[in-house]
Amino acid sequence: MTKTLDATHDAALQSWVASANRADADFPIQNLPYGRFRRAGSQEPWRIGVAIGDQILDLKAAAGQGTWPADVAALLAPLAEGDLNALMAQGSAARRTLRAALSQALREGSPQQSALAGALVPQAAAEMAVPCRIGDYTDFYTGIHHATTVGKLFRPDNPLLPNYKWVPIGYHGRVSSIGVSGQRFKRPLGQTAGSPETQGVPKFGPCARLDYELEMGVFVGTGNAQGEPMTMAQADDDWFGMVLLNDWSARDVQAWEYQPLGPFLSKSFASTLSPWVVTQEALAPFRQPFTRPEGDPQPLPHLDSAANRERGALGITIEVWLQTPSMAAPERLSSGNTSDAYWTVAQMLAHHSSNGCNLQPGDLLGTGTLSGPTPAQAGSLLELTMGGKQPITLANGETRTFLQDGDTVILRAFAEAPGARRVGFGDCAGTVLGQSAG
């Protein structure tokens, strides 16, 4: 298990990169997330960098300019070529080794400062890409409050199906349309249910009920061989890190198509990730006990462990912000916490592999929409507006039931705990374009 705190988590650590020392910095030296970037406007090859304050440590430049032990130099080599999957594949020991070396190099008083100062690139001058090669994408449904609220809209007498509390529900998503923060996509077309006006004949056209979904994304580390399920201990040790994930949803298309096989074209047109992968080591101080409400069934043995009960959950504050074309700045719509998830990351991996399915480095698992128990914690407009029946009014007087063309949705997240340094994820932003956009 990789949950032990070490010197890299020391809340008193300061960096020679001054912007990393601000109290509200998303990327202090205790974070050190990985992203794939190049200088904006350049044609230089993509490479992996580490966010530190408002800067990026270019690991291609750092590999050549710094002084590194042989084992660390070997870990940096594929990252310099833009291959984060190579680090993911090497497991938790490699993650910890590189994290310790980077922490030493970036901390205040490091002898590496003069050599590495030239390897910094301002984040404002960088262009970001999807952080790794994603082979497969599975979206889960771990937000029980979202599942219950949405279930009431479609099945008032039976909102939560009986399997929900026994098995992590998921479906296979589409990798080709996953983009990074800043993604702009056209409003999807789709087939929707007929009406009395159409004599019950379905119609095809632009989605009228476009929605966002506030999720976290989990990247698989080493993975498992086909036919060899992960134990809970292996699953908890394996996952590499997390990003924010907006799994955009065409609710009217979804309502028509989802029975009997689940979502399809209502989900596959776009998904947006935040660009920085916050490793599970950086999130170790924010682990929490995993508990079930009294009276709910406990997980079956292959989805249960003492370690998962003790520290399987994560406490991360998650927020949704909306900026319409007429707004000068975004407005926060809701705020929740990942601790409300009904299943943990380890349980998702263990369940996914339980039938012998082989997970691979860089595979992406979405948590599903993470809503809390109150309306102010809703992770989608479907919940905030009760299925479009109760429009929300924004501070500038505009109203919304679902997203309009030109709207930008921004997801944000950060983790805080006593005795720990706050760490953040950066923005996950996406903009809806009209069908006529070039």
Give start-end residues of each CATH 2.30.30.230 domain in the chain: 7-129
CATH topology of domain 7-129: SH3 type barrels. (2.30.30)
The stretch 27-34 carries a mean pLDDT of 98
**pLDDT tens for each residue of 17-27:** 999 999 999 99
Q: For the structural domain made of 137-433, what CATH number should be given?
A: 3.90.850.10
Q: What percent of the chain has pLDDT over 90?
A: 92
pLDDT for 3: 59
247 known member of a binding site: yes
258 known member of a binding site: yes
The stretch 120-148 carries a mean pLDDT of 96
* pLDDT at 103 > cutoff 80: yes
Spell out the residues 6+ positions from residue 59 whose beta carbon is closer than 8 angstroms to its own: 47, 48, 49, 50, 76, 79, 80, 119
Angle at 408 between CA 405 and CA 409, to 5 degrees: 125
**pLDDT tens for each residue of 356-369:** 999 999 999 999 99
* pLDDT at 2 > cutoff 70: no
The stretch 124-141 carries a mean pLDDT of 97
Q: Which residues have a catalytic role annotated?
A: 146
Give start-end residues of each CATH 3.90.850.10 domain in the chain: 137-433
141 known member of a binding site: yes
Q: To the nearest whole number, what is the mean pLDDT of the chain?
A: 96
**pLDDT tens for each residue of 153-169:** 878 887 888 899 999 99
127 known member of a binding site: no
**pLDDT tens for each residue of 66-79:** 899 999 999 999 99
pLDDT for 154: 75
Q: What is the pTM of this model?
A: 0.96
Q: What percent of the chain has pLDDT over 70?
A: 99
215 known member of a binding site: yes
Let me know if 436 is exposed, middle or buried by CB neighbors in 10 A (0-12, 13-18, 19+): exposed
- Rounded Cα gap, residues 245 and 367, in angstroms: 9
**pLDDT tens for each residue of 217-233:** 999 999 999 999 999 99
> Strands 178-180, 271-273: parallel, antiparallel or unpaired by DSSP?
parallel
